[in-house]
Amino acid sequence: MNTPPELLSEHACFGGVQRFYQHASSTIGLTMKYSVFLPPQMFIDDAGGKVPAVIYLAGLTCNEETFMVKAGAQRMAAELGLALIAPDTSPRGAHVPGEADNWDFGVGAGFYLDASQAPWDRHYRMESYLTAELLPLLTAALPLDAGRIGIFGHSMGGHGALTLALRHPNLFKSVSAFAPICAPSHCPWGRKAFTGYLGADEAGWLAHDAAALMAGLRSAPYPGGILIDQGLADKFLAEQLHPDLFEAACAKAGQPLTLRRHAGYDHGYYFIATFMADHLKHHARQLSARTGDLKSA
């Protein structure tokens, strides 16, 4: 029997409310934490209408608090009438041997996929958790419009946003990313994670590689466009991120992509906060428009 989420804290924020929760996840088999920002429109709209929501996937070593504390997103989300959802980046307390030995694998590094290799496959099931448990839980419990859900993220979370959007286009109606790991099959972070979670057969990795997924398409899944921002002073750009491979795959598939490269910006949250408003506007436009009216970002 599912128990309701436990509200850990609540804070008034830009006319809305910032909440932090935990719940017993049947998918993960452990307690999971997440945060939600609810915009003021949910509390002042006498018609009781539902609002669109955007889920943000954080990067390596982060958790459900990182985005809400560092990104400065709530002010613009309140203006646009967007709810924000931020899950944790991995299971906690699974006690898998070695899960806390490396900052880029295990705890804080779930890579937003379902592991198929023991012992990780028991608890590390972040894709199913997000798509089949957390989002249905939230749209059932809160006045969120299940038909207007967007997804974005940073670094490992940017990988998660792109791959989950491409794997679940009926669930997510808009997508963007900050400095995403665009081709994890081709970088040390991705190869390490995929080997551990998915096994040594590299052919199986491609189903979780954004560039490979996009390259296999023959039409654009997001006609309104995908937005990516990348800092050119990002120390991980050359070895880990490979936005050029995703850019080429989008061109091949006819997928509209706005890939903005910014001189002087690094990989951190000062970069993310600088361009956050653009991303929220990108999602608000697509989540409020009819499919035939969408234009590229």
Burial class (CB in 10 A: 0-12, 13-18, 19+), 47: exposed
Catalytic residue (one of 25, 155, 176, 185) = 155
**Any catalytic annotation for residue 90?**
no
Q: Kindly give the residue spans of alpha helices, DSSP state H, lying in the chain.
A: 41-44, 66-70, 74-80, 126-128, 135-141, 156-167, 188-198, 210-215, 243-253, 269-288
Q: Kindly give the residue spans of alpha helices, DSSP state H, lying in 199-235.
A: 210-215
Residue type, 70: K
Catalytic residue (one of 154, 242, 267, 279) = 267
The residue whose two tokens read 């990104």 is: 71
Structure tokens at 149: 């859900």
The residues near 55 (Cβ < 8 Å, ≥ 6 apart) are 84, 85, 86, 87, 130, 135, 149, 150, 151, 152
Burial class (CB in 10 A: 0-12, 13-18, 19+), 221: middle
**Any catalytic annotation for residue 229?**
no
Q: How far is the C-alpha of 273 from the C-alpha of 294, rounded, in Å?
A: 25
Nearest Cα to 180, choosing from 195, 162, 199, 198?
162
Contact in structure between 137 and 189 (CB atoms under 8 Å): no
**Any catalytic annotation for residue 288?**
no
Residue type, 186: H
Q: How far is the C-alpha of 14 from the C-alpha of 23, rounded, in Å?
A: 26
Contact in structure between 20 and 9 (CB atoms under 8 Å): yes
Catalytic residue (one of 88, 114, 209, 234) = 234
Catalogue the active-site residues: 155, 234, 267
